[in-house]
Homo-oligomer: A and B are copies of this chain.
Amino acid sequence: VPRATTVIGDGFTVGGIAKGAAMLEPNMATMLAVLTTDAEIDAAAATEMLRAAVGTSFNCLTVDGAESTNDTVLLLANGSAGPVDPDALGAALAEACLSLAVQMADDAEGSTKTVFLTVTGAASDAEAAKGARDTANCQLVKCSWYGEDPYWGRIAAEMGAAGIAFDPDTISISYGGQIVYAAGQAQTVDEAALTTHMAGRTLDLDVDLGQGSGTARVVTTDLSHAYIDENMRTS
């Protein structure tokens, strides 16, 4: 399935196409994406901008924790739109890359859920990223998404096992904006609203560690019977 995106800027346009299926934990590693723009920009500035955009998009994507073997992202700029505001171009590039990354998650092997997992309140951004990635790649957590089960226990356990600053009494865990666990205990929720959220294609999972101001976000997927079917035999 081809994935494409177009971001219209003020006087310029950014386009992108990409392929990717699973074996996806880009570290710039089986993913191929090409971005194009008519903005006029020199190679050094374009490289810096693309690295930043990749950092908050493709490199925040993990399907199965299996590092992809040969990722490539290319940016082509023909300059026909002339000089543009670099901040606006950077933002457009980041938006285009994120759109492609989310489209990859949406049709990753066997994926039935695309999960936006945001960690806040970590001791540092690096600790937030470690906790987010360990949780995103946990088989048990992935199974719970497939089962549409707001299973906070394993999420807390993964954060606690991630080797980051952690206190079970300060962590809060929310699905679709509803706090399911906080202050050391399960919280009363609107069961109907929570069930509706868990049944959706997209899940929003927010974890506040209550330790500091570090943040991170990863985009990931569930673990389904179809994932196993696609990967149990290579031929």
In the complex, the answer to whether B224 meets A228 with C-beta atoms within 8 Å is yes
A85 interface contact, C-beta 8 A? no
A40 contacts the other chain (CB 8 A):
no
- Is the C-beta of A213 less than 8 angstroms from some C-beta in chain B? no
Contact present for A139 and B64 (CB under 8 Å) = yes
Interface residues on A, range: 20 to 34
A227 at the interface (CB under 8 A from B): yes
Judged by a CB distance under 8 angstroms, whether A161 is at the interface is yes
Known contacts A143-B227, A225-B225; is A66 also within 8 Å of B232 by CB? no
On whether the beta carbons of B149 and A232 are closer than 8 Å, the reply is: yes
Binding-face segment, A117-125, A152-160, A170-178, A204-212: A152-160
| Across the A-B interface, the 9 shortest Cβ-Cβ residue pairs | A147-B232, A143-B231, A67-B161, A147-B233, A64-B139, A143-B232, A149-B233, A66-B140, A151-B234
Taking beta carbons and an 8 Å cutoff, which residues of A are in contact with B?
22-23, 29, 64-67, 69, 138-140, 143-144, 146-147, 149, 151, 153-154, 157-158, 161, 223-225, 227-228, 231-235
A-B contact pairs, 16 of them (CB 8 A): A23-B140, A23-B157, A65-B138, A66-B139, A66-B157, A66-B158, A67-B161, A139-B231, A146-B228, A147-B233, A149-B234, A149-B235, A151-B234, A223-B228, A224-B228, A225-B228
